[in-house]
Structure 1
Amino acid sequence: MAMSNKFELLARWGYTARGAVYAILGALALTAAASGGSSSQDSPKDALSSLLGQPFGQILLGIVAIGLVGHVLWRFAQAFLNADHLDNDAKGYLVRAGSLISGLANLSLAFAACSLAISASSGSGSGSGGEESISAWLMQQPFGQVLVGAVGVGLIIGGGAQVWRGFSGQYRKRVKLPQDGEAALNAICVFGLSARGILLAISGGFFIYAALTVNPEQAGGLSDGLAWVRQLPFGLFLYGLAAIGLIAFGVYSGIEGRYRKVDAPDSGDVKQAANKMGSLAGH
């Protein structure tokens, strides 16, 4: 597959890197489910940290970190440059807003990967982060309680949209699956999108609860969502199912990296967008 420019290569690299993180995260959770418990290492940052224990771990982590940065840049290109050429209507703007939210969410993951890579090479410890720190920062802003609640609502809507994209087949408008094994790959993609969508919606519920209680510590991410699922009736089975779903989402991300339609912006698109923003700022 010929790459139209370096940005396209970075975008595809980003999807693949995201897939690696989720596949590792799902594998960690599945291992815990197989042993009859829940994992204390089932956050995306733990998945990144596990790479350091592999041969050439620092190099692998650096490759993933660069890919995650590329994924963030691609999401911003979708949001600000309309890289997917969406219509300028309510639906198009809503999808672009979703890309922006996704980019901001993956920014923390990219930052964690870069921090781990740098701290590993220097031998220093890594700082803490996560949904609680994001929620705490938002809570300190004007109308912070509303902002945290809005993030929660956005996560619920985004999660529901991801489930719908899977079951409705909307994702296939931009991802052309190969004919060999198409049915099996489609099943994996639908399952992966649905599992991650449900966990995103659960995370959104945590953010809304944090806003209502004015307590940033109540905010939660994927690891908290998995822990909540574990407490449900038939929790161990559901926990294992969610873990397999995260692995499936990792496979889906890898498929996106290979087969997704990527109309990456070139330098001319970036300059045109910058000039437009500059003219708007001048007025």
Structure 2
Amino acid sequence: MIDKRPGDAADRLTDSDWFERLARAGHVVSGLLHLLIAYIVLRLAFGDPGSADQSGALSIFASSTGGRLALWVAVVAFVAMALWRIAETIVGPHPSEPRSDDDDGIFDRAKAGALAVVYLAFAWSAGQFAMGEGKSSGQQNAGLSARLMESTAGKAVLVVAGLIIIAVGAYHVYKGVSRSFFDDLRIGDDNQAVKVTGIVGYVAKGVVLAGAGILVVVAAITADPSKATGLDGAVKTVAGWPAGQFLLVLAALGLAAYGVYCFVMARYARM
């Protein structure tokens, strides 16, 4: 019998143990990517070249046959996570492990929908690199920014996009400082290891994202698309500061902490 409502299909999907395992694998892949980005940032701190973003991390996998196979596994995991977030958008957060104090209002559903888009983008990027067609995210961002800067409306779109990225970064910082990330876990906030990795990871990722968003706004105002290259641009801008090396080492440690936290999510996330 075919489900008549999207909510029925979403409920059935989230009741599947095998599908939940696939979705949790998305957290594992995300953790690995953040650890690789942290490694690239650390190398940049000491003068080595590289692209300090998702494309740089994916290119490391794409350099070998085994790595490309791992990328296809990542595609499946990311698609599964995206579908899970779509289910949360339809039926509310944590459909298989709800709590009485859960707020399934429009903000939580919108956040789940936005994360679904993010994971689908991750899956697309991983698939492109698996097929040997992956491109630098920074170069693509700069190219798109250059086209948008050809018109006033395009510049306005860039400013709005930058402000959204800044807001997302600020939300990450808030989530880390307030320790509200424990709301997403099925363990208590008395676990010190999880507390430290969560706080450090969320704050570090938030600061890096906010920096990338600020550069997008600056790029739109100054009509300089080279500044709108995303995470990679933010990291390389910091590298040119007097205390750049020290700050990049801190950023690498913070991103690595977020990567470790992703592994915690894979095991303990409420889904």
TM-score interval w.r.t. the shorter chain? 0.7 to 0.9
Deviations 1:167-216 (A, max 9, x none): 1110001213489x921221011111111101110111122123323454
Q: Separation in 2 of the partners of 1:138 and 1:106?
A: 25
Q: Separation in 1 of the partners of 2:87 and 2:150?
A: 29
Q: Separation in 1 of the partners of 2:68 and 2:172?
A: 32
Q: 1:71 corresponds to which residue?
A: 81
Q: 1:17 corresponds to which residue?
A: 29
Shift in alpha-carbon separation, 1:40–1:143, aligned structure 2, 3 A: same
1:1-283 → structure 2 map (5 Å cutoff) = 4-5=15-16, 6-33=18-45, 36-37=46-47, 39-53=49-63, 56-84=66-94, 87=103, 92-119=105-132, 125-129=133-137, 130-135=140-145, 143-177=153-187, 182-262=191-271
Aligned-residue offset at 1:28? 2.3
Q: Separation in 1 of the partners of 2:64 and 2:195?
A: 31
Which shows bigger deviation, 138-147 or 189-198? 138-147
Given that residues 145 and 212 in structure 1 are in contact (C-alpha distance below 8 angstroms), is that contact kept between their aligned partners in structure 2?
yes
Shift in alpha-carbon separation, 1:140–1:64, aligned structure 2, 3 A: farther
Q: 2:9 corresponds to which residue?
A: none
Counterpart of 1:113, as a letter, is A
Which stretches in structure 1 are left out of the alignment for 5+ residues? Answer: 120-124, 263-283
Q: Separation in 2 of the partners of 1:84 and 1:135?
A: 36
Given that residues 14 and 71 in structure 1 are in contact (C-alpha distance below 8 angstroms), is that contact kept between their aligned partners in structure 2?
yes
Counterpart of 1:152, as a letter, is G
Shift in alpha-carbon separation, 1:32–1:136, aligned structure 2, 3 A: closer
Shift in alpha-carbon separation, 1:244–1:55, aligned structure 2, 3 A: farther
Q: 2:11 corresponds to which residue?
A: none
Shift in alpha-carbon separation, 1:211–1:223, aligned structure 2, 3 A: same
Counterpart of 1:10, as a letter, is L
Q: Among the aligned pairs, what percent are the same residue?
A: 28
Q: Separation in 2 of the partners of 1:141 and 1:14?
A: 38
Which stretches in structure 2 are left out of the alignment for 5+ residues? Answer: 1-13, 96-101
Q: Separation in 2 of the partners of 1:108 and 1:196?
A: 18
Aligned-residue offset at 1:128? 5.0
Q: Separation in 2 of the partners of 1:77 and 1:134?
A: 31
Q: Separation in 1 of the partners of 2:82 and 2:147?
A: 21
Aligned-residue offset at 1:19? 1.1
Q: 1:280 corresponds to which residue?
A: none
Shift in alpha-carbon separation, 1:114–1:158, aligned structure 2, 3 A: same
Which shows bigger deviation, 252-261 or 24-33? 24-33
Deviations 1:86-139 (A, max 9, x none): 646xxx4334434444443444332221011122xxxxx544544334545766
CA RMSD of aligned residues (A): 2.9
Q: 2:4 corresponds to which residue?
A: none
Q: Separation in 2 of the partners of 1:190 and 1:39?
A: 29
Shift in alpha-carbon separation, 1:140–1:109, aligned structure 2, 3 A: farther
Shift in alpha-carbon separation, 1:137–1:115, aligned structure 2, 3 A: farther
